[in-house]
């Protein structure tokens, strides 16, 4: 009866007898630590906040936020600043909608005053 062959440790410079195994999934981060950050996360958040004061920044934040969220979902990686991207995107949506409503109200105000002024001028010229 022969003895079973046990694996002997391989020395320096020798190849491992076992083939390398690919990692089928990403290891969970210990203690909730999220190591990676999306490179545009802070920019999107700042543009979303500045959008309250400068209308086009909200549009840019909305666009960049949607693009970054698609990248995050496609990569499958949990980013540490994913909430910044999402908050900036939502602020971009809110500021864009508020800006559109503001522009529409301003145009309605201007049209109202033009109609009022032309109506007053028409009534003044009709009396003479």
What is the structure's pLDDT at 90? 97
Q: What is the dihedral of CA 82, 83, 89, 92, to 10 degrees?
A: -140
Q: How many CB atoms lie within 10 A of CB 22?
A: 5
Which token pair is 38? 């999306």
What is the structure's pLDDT at 110? 96
Give tens-digit pLDDT for 74-123: 988 888 889 999 999 999 999 999 999 999 999 999 999 999 998 888 87
**Nearby residues of 80 by Cβ (< 8 Å), 6 or more positions away:** 34, 35, 36, 37
**Nearby residues of 43 by Cβ (< 8 Å), 6 or more positions away:** 64, 88
Residue 94 or 11, more confident: 94
- Alpha-carbon distance of 90 to 86, in angstroms, equals 6
Which token pair is 127? 């009396």
- Phi and psi based region of residue 28 (left: phi greater than 0; alpha: psi -120 to 50; beta: remaining): beta
What is the structure's pLDDT at 16? 64
Give tens-digit pLDDT for 43-81: 999 999 999 999 999 999 999 999 999 999 998 888 888
């Amino acid at each position: 009866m022969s003895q079973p062959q046990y694996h002997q440790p391989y020395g320096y410079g020798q190849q491992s007898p076992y083939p390398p195994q690919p990692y089928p999934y990403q290891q969970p981060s210990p203690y909730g630590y999220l190591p990676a950050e999306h490179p545009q996360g802070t920019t999107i958040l700042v543009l979303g906040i500045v959008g309250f004061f400068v209308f086009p920044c909200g549009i840019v934040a909305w666009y960049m936020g949607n693009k970054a969220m698609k990248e995050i979902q496609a990569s499958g990686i949990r980013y540490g600043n994913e909430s910044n991207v999402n908050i900036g995107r939502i602020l971009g949506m809110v500021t864009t909608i508020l800006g559109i409503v503001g522009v529409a109200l301003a145009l309605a105000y201007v049209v109202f005053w033009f109609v009022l002024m032309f109506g007053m001028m028409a009534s003044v010229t009709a009396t003479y």
